[in-house]
Amino acid sequence: MRETIRLTLRGYKIWWRENPQMLIAPALCSIVETVSPYVSVWLLAQLINEIAGQKDRQRMIALTFALLVSAALLTLLGAALDRWKNVQWADMWHVQNRIINRKLLSMDFAGVEHSRTQELRSQVWQNTDSGGLGLYKLLNCFDAAVRSATAIAGGIALTISLFVLPVKSRELFFLNSPIFVLPIAGAMAAVTLLVPVFSGKAGAYWGKFAEENKFGNRLFGFWLGSLGEDTAKALDVRVYRQDILCKRHLQKYNPFIPTAKLPKAARGPMGGYRALSGAVAQVFTGAAYLYVCLKALGGAFRVGSIVQYVSVLTAVFGGLSLLLSTFEDLKNNQPFLRIVFEFLDIPNQMKQSGLKLENRQIQPLEIEFCHASFKYPGQDNYALRDVSIKLRAGRRLAVVGMNGSGKTTFIKLLCRLYDPTEGAILLNGTDIREIDYHEYLSLFAVVFQDFKLLSFALGQNVASATNYNSEKAEHCLFDSGFGEQLDRLPKRLSTPLYKDFEEDGVDVSGGEAQKIAIARALYKDASFIILDEPTAALDPIAEHEIYARMDRMMGEKTAVFISHRLSSCRFCQDIAVFHEGRLVQRGAHDKLVAEKTGVYSELWAAQAKHYISNEA
Amino acid sequence: MNPRKRVVNLHNVFYMISLARKQRPSILWFSLFLVIIALLLSVTQLVMVPAILIAVENGVSIGELVKVILMFTSILMVLNAASAYLTSCSQLGRIELRLKLAGMLQNKALTMSYPDVENPDVRKKKDKAVMLVNSNQCATEVIWTTLTNLLKSMAEFAVCLFLLSTLHSGIILVVVTATVISFSVSNYLNGWGYRHRDEESEYSRRMNYLSEKSRDYTLAKDVCIFGLGSWIEEVFDSTLRLYRRFMARGECICLWGNIIDVILIFLRNGILYFFLIGSVLRGEMPCAQFVLCFNAVNVFTNGIGNIMSCFSALRRQSLDISAIREFLYYPETFQMEGGEVLVPDPGAKYKIQLENVSFRYPGAGQDTLSHLNLTIEPGEKLAVVGLNGAGKTTLIKLICGFLGPTEGRVLLNNTDIRTYNRRDYYRLFSAVFQDYSVLDVSIAENIAQTDENINIELMNRCVEQAGLTEKINSLNNGVQTHLGMVFEDSVRLSGGELQRLMLARALYKNAPIFVLDEPTSALDPIAESEIYHKYNELTAGHMAVYISHRLASTRFCDRIILMADGGIAEEGTHEQLMAQNGRYAELFELQSRYYREGGEGYAGNNTPDPARV
């Protein structure tokens, strides 16, 4: 209970910080909308009493006017507040996404890639998307809580007289005794409690099938969603007739077909509980009528007040049920909130502050791995084992090896996406963990194998920012070999990439995208440039052009290339060969080829023979 | 069929009804019962209050009063219970039908003629249709609620009209007119958001895209290194500001609707109330009847509003359904249903001919391929090489029947492939394309592309040939291990492993013609070399087309064609082409230079400018 309150309050604080009006507007709107029918009911009761009683002409006209005017004014006020609330709530979904995005974007890479993070992230998303749970739920609950509290407070004020006014008729005198009033009130309270119990039991079935529902969402997400979205897959889909398997999977696992568990429950116990809760609610209305009418029969008040008391009692009942179900909702929401907060509280593992790099302009930067070993979190095997290597400033290093030899892991450690499990990495003799994280990252520009560009302007993609230096961006694009294409684009740097948002966007090919990604790396002005398979998507001529330009492009920078095309090694003075997580060979091409038993010569031979010898 | 001409295009409503009748008729029955119960409920509530008031006013005995109240209460209990139960039952059927429709749309998307997949117009239609089946709020599910409400409101209206028949007919006219005017005005203004929904969805789409990118862990490396975070947040925030401003504008306009509404209601109710009060003062109307009329007037005016809003909702929903049908029944370019039946026979000889084929992409200024002639003999191993953009992929798409030639013909054993059923034609191919569609199912199902009667022995052999046995044996569930996101126990394969899996799939299908488009791009040199060596064994007895821009990889083929300038520039065996000393030789020279012992290697200064091919 205390936990629920703590988490819930923290959730509201988050919303308040995002935009306080998201809470103020619905509160005011709910109060006005709840009070307004009470005013009408009270005035109407007075009017009916007048009709049933004195029939005073003046008073009747005055009451009718009051009824009309108050209804008009309150409706208007309510509508204005409702519009205000709509504006504040319209972007609820996006604001909650922004909270999550901000966290994701500020996490360090080890945090993002950690399986627990991904699990939490997908849970947060699924809970919001499929059930509106978590932070999202809090806003609706807030609205409901204000509404019910107002309904109860206002209702009690309007019904005190019901219990106090005495019956005049002798026959019904027992109604005046508190001994009789108490059980009546008790019975009404019991019904009020019973209704949410039943509807809660019905609702619990949804919870019972939560796993099935989540599975269903993933199932439909894939088969009805992603499978058809990517047009690049369309060839494969047709040749292998994947539509057939799609149909079968949708039929086989669909949780909504009548014979599945959920629909069976809906027709059985779940429907039964819903019916019960619907019926029991009417017991309250019946009891209210009985008590109110008997008192009226006994002469405690006039008939008009019957209308007032019954409708107000019903409203109070509604308010109480809403309050109870809101509490229930908040309680059920607690585990989902806990997931949200566990996610938001993931600590950044990398030390965020440390030494500043002051004199990097003067001193050449050298990086040294000292017996660095690395295991991915949660895994038993070392991905990298006892690697010692020095990167000399201004030189080109090629990193080669078979799939899974640890090349990419080496790069991840180098640019501190991960810290080594054992050993250390030194920058000019200082352990990089002592250096300010962001400052260290600023030394690197990397073109990863699976780099991504966003569907915004070309220039923004090169600069990774909304505002950019056009001259510099164009320069980088020319250097990376995109110049010819750039000259063909009438909007030049403002050309949007891809057609996601703009009709005049350009679809770039894999090779072109790679050139843009290289330009992005150049734009960053980093001391180290790392290219992971830089020419995989390029044809021989384009590949040749990139290599020919490489030296000029890199200038004084230190460059690291990863490739399994060994041809790219020929222009590096220095080659590091990785095998099963270890650095097994190091040196210039000629030296490595000469080591006949080494991995390098094996790799070299496998590729070169197709070009050199006559065997096919 | 112009949907704007009529208030509601009933075709679309009938379409949904007949779909429900075929797929899940209970939806219709439940809806009908819900209408009847809802009507009974509102009538009971309407007569209950005056009946009780009369009893009290007349001072009936306690027993009598209790009896009246108990009677009404028990009727309400039964009706409420029935309504709640039926709602519970009907809900899931409606979801099921919507998902059924979503399945139909997906099926269309997965099977429709390939040129339409790339057609932006059809794509837009598809995106729109898919949006209309993806939530509980969509027309395809809500239409049942609308229809139920419409029927209920119309019945209520009739009942109230009967109850109010004692009133002056002029008064009823005033009420109806005022309600209709106020509804039309505020409906028009409220429609502002609907009319500007493209603007709204534009903002939403942008923000959803950014959220998706923030969640995408494959982007995280770039985010860290290039500080993409602040860029993404900046774009997000500026879009959010625009979105808010847009919503505020819409709500301000709608507020005018509220104001007009309040004024008209004030006038209408003023006339009504004073008419009723007048009758009371003249002694024509007892108290109970006043209450009955007062409530009936409210139900009546609400009823008119409800009917009108149901119609306007139905109109929107009908437009939505028509958008769905527009995609679902988009005419096919190829013969997807009819055409001559073609059963692939592994023993038969297949020959493919391209006869004077030209192809131009829609809207392009020039042909991608022009007047190309090519015959691929049965059992031939053909290699297609060329630079990026030379038309290799277009050629493959023409051979596989994904695109139709703009000019000329593609022949299978001398018959134009347009004669055949296109789906049958696809059965002739075992392919590994550059982009592959890995399904969220088990490895076995991914290889066999079916979930029944999988030939285990054949599968194991294919896995072995593709070099995936070791990996699969290392998995706890072997070939039963799931891939992707749908199943909890799924594993992720590396790029190289996926490519081997795709090779295994192609081998398992064992279709007469193999098409391999850069099938080793994700493999390391040793694995790649292994595949090259096994190539002839793997494709023995089949026609095979191998596409690559690595020239060395094509030397094991019977014939190599070099694509350039929209046609075949050179063709022959590797030796013949080298002897020709043309473009092929030049390209080969360029690539092999890096590998030659003692060659120049990379040299920035004296590299000859490679001639454009």
The Cα–Cα gap between A49 and B219 comes to: 71
Rg (CA), chain B: 36
Chain B nearest C-alpha distance from A231 (Å):
7
CATH architecture of B3-192+258-328: Up-down Bundle (1.20)
Q: Under CATH, domain A2-199+273-344 is a member of which superfamily?
A: ABC transporter type 1, transmembrane domain (1.20.1560.10)
User: What are the residues facing A365 on neighbouring strands?
Assistant: none
Q: Cα–Cα distances in Å, from A603 out to A89, A246, A296, A474?
A: 60, 41, 100, 38
Q: Which residue of A has its CA nearest to B118?
A: A231
Q: What is the 8-class DSSP label of residue B610?
A: P
User: Binning pLDDT at 50, 70 and 90, where does residue B297 land?
Assistant: confident
The Cα–Cα gap between B297 and A356 comes to: 78
Residue B603, pLDDT > 50, answer: no
B104 CB near a chain A CB, below 8 Å? no
Pick from B206, B247, B252: which is nearest to A90 by CB?
B247
Residue A352, pLDDT > 50, answer: yes
* Closest by Cα among A236, A427, A472 to B430: A236
The Cα–Cα gap between B177 and B158 comes to: 17
B437 CB near a chain A CB, below 8 Å? yes
Q: pLDDT per residue over B350-375, tens digit each?
A: 999 999 999 998 877 888 898 999 99
**CATH, domain range B350-428+513-598:** 3.40.50.300
Residue B605, pLDDT > 50, answer: no
B178 CB near a chain A CB, below 8 Å? no
CATH architecture of A365-443+528-549+558-616: 3-Layer(aba) Sandwich (3.40)
The Cα–Cα gap between A500 and B235 comes to: 15
Q: Quickly count: other Cβ atoms within 10 Å of residue B383's Cβ.
A: 24
Q: What residue spans in chain A does CATH classification 3.40.50.300 cover? A: 365-443+528-549+558-616, 451-525
The Cα–Cα gap between A460 and A454 comes to: 9
Does B435 contact A228 at a Cβ distance shorter than 8 Å? no
What pLDDT shows up at residue B131?
84
The Cα–Cα gap between B143 and B311 comes to: 11
Higher pLDDT, A171 or B466: B466
DSSP result, A284-330: HHHHHHHHHHHHHHTTSS-HHHHHHHHHHHHHHHHHHHHHHHHHHHH
Provide the 3-class DSSP secondary structure of residue B600.
Answer: coil
Which long-range contacts (C-beta less than 8 Å, at least 24 apart) are formed by B456-464?
Answer: B458/B508, B458/B510, B459/B504, B459/B508, B461/B507, B462/B504, B462/B505, B462/B507, B462/B508, B463/B504
Angle at the Cα of A276 (from A270 to A277), degrees rounded to 5? 90
What pLDDT shows up at residue B601?
40
Does B437 contact A237 at a Cβ distance shorter than 8 Å? yes
As a whole number, mean pLDDT of residues B301-321 equals 86
As a whole number, mean pLDDT of residues A14-34 equals 94
Higher pLDDT, A144 or B556: A144
User: What are the residues facing B359 on neighbouring strands?
Assistant: B369
The Cα–Cα gap between A510 and B91 comes to: 47
Higher pLDDT, A272 or B188: A272
Chain A nearest C-alpha distance from B76 (Å):
7
User: Binning pLDDT at 50, 70 and 90, where does residue B609 land?
Assistant: very low
Q: Are A582 and A406 in contact (CB under 8 A)?
A: yes
The Cα–Cα gap between A382 and A582 comes to: 10
Percent of all residues in chain B with a pLDDT value above 70, rounded to a whole number: 95
* Closest by Cα among B471, B490, B492 to B482: B490
Does A415 contact B225 at a Cβ distance shorter than 8 Å? yes
Q: Are B126 and B107 in contact (CB under 8 A)?
A: no
B537 CB near a chain A CB, below 8 Å? no
B612, burial (CB in 10 Å: exposed 0-12, middle 13-18, buried 19+): exposed
Q: What's at A367, amino acid-wise? A: I
Q: What residue spans in chain B does CATH classification 1.20.1560.10 cover? A: 3-192+258-328
Residues 195-254 of B with CB under 8 A from A: 202, 204-211, 213-237, 240, 243-244, 247-248, 251-252, 254
Pick from B226, B604, B613: which is nearest to A524 by CB?
B226
Residue A139, pLDDT > 80, answer: yes
Q: Are B484 and A222 in contact (CB under 8 A)?
A: yes
The Cα–Cα gap between A217 and A462 comes to: 37
Pick from A76, A243, A303: which is nearest to B56 by CB?
A303
Q: Under CATH, domain A451-525 is a member of which superfamily?
A: P-loop containing nucleotide triphosphate hydrolases (3.40.50.300)
Higher pLDDT, B450 or A563: B450
User: Binning pLDDT at 50, 70 and 90, where does residue A615 land?
Assistant: very low
Q: Quickly count: other Cβ atoms within 10 Å of residue A562's Cβ.
A: 24
Q: What's at B352, amino acid-wise? A: I
As a whole number, mean pLDDT of residues A570-579 equals 81
* Chain B residues within 8 A of A275 when measuring between CB atoms: 81-82, 84-85, 88
Residue B421, pLDDT > 70, answer: yes
Provide the 3-class DSSP secondary structure of residue A396.
Answer: strand
Angle at the Cα of A333 (from A327 to A339), degrees rounded to 5? 150
Mean pLDDT of the residues in chain A: 84
What pLDDT shows up at residue A537?
63
* Six token digits for residue A88: 């504040």
User: Binning pLDDT at 50, 70 and 90, where does residue A526 land?
Assistant: confident
Residue A530, pLDDT > 70, answer: yes
Residue B138, pLDDT > 80, answer: yes
Q: Is A218 left (phi over 0), alpha (psi -120 to 50) or beta?
A: alpha
Does A547 contact B219 at a Cβ distance shorter than 8 Å? no
Residue B612, pLDDT > 50, answer: no
Query: Taken in order A510, A512, A515, A521, is the CA torsion positive or negative?
Result: negative
The Cα–Cα gap between B47 and B163 comes to: 10
As a whole number, mean pLDDT of residues B1-19 equals 71
A533-547 as b/e: b if 16+ CB within 10 A: bbbbbbbbbbbbbbb
Does B110 contact A509 at a Cβ distance shorter than 8 Å? no
As a whole number, mean pLDDT of residues B597-609 equals 39
Beta-carbon contacts of residue B264 (< 8 Å; ≥ 6 apart): B178, B179, B181, B182
Residue B160, pLDDT > 90, answer: no
| Maximal CA-CA distance, chain B | 120
Residues 239-278 of A with CB under 8 A from B: 239-250, 252, 254, 256-258, 262-263, 266-267, 270-272, 274-278
* Chain A residues within 8 A of B123 when measuring between CB atoms: 231
pTM to 2 decimal places? 0.79
Residues 287-326 of B with CB under 8 A from A: 287, 290-291, 294
What pLDDT shows up at residue A303?
82
Percent of all residues in chain A with a pLDDT value above 70, rounded to a whole number: 95
Q: What's at A37, amino acid-wise? A: P
Does A245 contact B439 at a Cβ distance shorter than 8 Å? yes
B440 CB near a chain A CB, below 8 Å? yes
The Cα–Cα gap between A188 and A29 comes to: 29
Q: Which residue of B has its CA nearest to A538?
A: B388
Q: What is the 8-class DSSP label of residue B283?
A: T
* Closest by Cα among A481, A480, A473, A475 to A457: A473
* Closest by Cα among A390, A372, A411, A360 to A109: A411
User: Binning pLDDT at 50, 70 and 90, where does residue B5 land?
Assistant: very low
Does A83 contact B217 at a Cβ distance shorter than 8 Å? no
Pick from B62, B78, B103: which is nearest to A297 by CB?
B62
Least confident piece of the model among A6-15, B501-510, B523-532: B523-532
B131, burial (CB in 10 Å: exposed 0-12, middle 13-18, buried 19+): middle
DSSP result, A446-479: EE-TT----SSBHHHHHHTSSS--HHHHHHHHHH
Angle at the Cα of B486 (from B482 to B489), degrees rounded to 5? 45
A182-214 as b/e: b if 16+ CB within 10 A: eebeeebeebbebbbebbbbbbebeeebeebbb
User: What are the residues facing A355 on neighbouring strands?
Assistant: A435
Q: Are A239 and B426 in contact (CB under 8 A)?
A: yes
Pick from A279, A499, A602: which is nearest to B526 by CB?
A602
The Cα–Cα gap between A334 and A506 comes to: 46
The Cα–Cα gap between B386 and B403 comes to: 20
- Pick from A187-191, A209-213, A551-555 the range whose average pLDDT is largest: A187-191
DSSP result, A44-71: HHHHHHHHHTT--HHHHHHHHHHHHHHH
Chain A nearest C-alpha distance from B409 (Å):
21
Residues 446-485 of B with CB under 8 A from A: 449-451, 484-485
Mean pLDDT of the residues in chain B: 85
What pLDDT shows up at residue B364?
78
Q: What residue spans in chain B does CATH classification 3.40.50.300 cover? A: 350-428+513-598, 439-510
Name which CATH class applies to B439-510: alpha beta
Q: pLDDT per residue over A364-402, tens digit each?
A: 788 889 999 998 877 778 889 998 888 888 888 888 888
- Pick from A277-281, A546-550, B132-136 the range whose average pLDDT is largest: A277-281
Residues 277-296 of A with CB under 8 A from B: 277-279, 281-283, 285-286, 289-290, 293-294, 296
Residues 538-577 of A with CB under 8 A from B: 538-542, 544-545, 547-548, 550-552, 564-568, 570-571
As a whole number, mean pLDDT of residues A198-227 equals 80
The Cα–Cα gap between B40 and B48 comes to: 12
User: Binning pLDDT at 50, 70 and 90, where does residue A540 land?
Assistant: low
User: Binning pLDDT at 50, 70 and 90, where does residue B604 land?
Assistant: very low
Beta-carbon contacts of residue B369 (< 8 Å; ≥ 6 apart): B357, B358, B359, B391, B394, B395, B398, B566, B567
Beta-carbon contacts of residue A443 (< 8 Å; ≥ 6 apart): A357, A360, A365, A526, A527, A528
What pLDDT shows up at residue B98?
92
Containing H/E element for A22? helix A21-52
The two beta strands, A396-400 and A444-447, are unpaired
* Six token digits for residue B417: 């492939």
Residue A516, pLDDT > 70, answer: yes
Higher pLDDT, B563 or A352: B563
Percent of all residues in chain A with a pLDDT value above 90, rounded to a whole number: 17
The Cα–Cα gap between A318 and A285 comes to: 11
Percent of all residues in chain B with a pLDDT value above 90, rounded to a whole number: 31
DSSP result, B573-596: -HHHHHHHTSHHHHHHHHHHGGGS
As a whole number, mean pLDDT of residues A588-613 equals 78
User: Binning pLDDT at 50, 70 and 90, where does residue A15 land?
Assistant: very high
Pick from B273, B494, B555: which is nearest to A610 by CB?
B555
Q: Are A480 and A516 in contact (CB under 8 A)?
A: yes
The Cα–Cα gap between A444 and A517 comes to: 14
Provide the 3-class DSSP secondary structure of residue A226.
Answer: helix
Higher pLDDT, A485 or B3: A485
Q: What residue spans in chain A does CATH classification 1.20.1560.10 cover? A: 2-199+273-344
Does B106 contact A52 at a Cβ distance shorter than 8 Å? no
CB pairs under 8 A between A and B: 463
Q: Are A97 and B207 in contact (CB under 8 A)?
A: yes
What pLDDT shows up at residue A612?
62
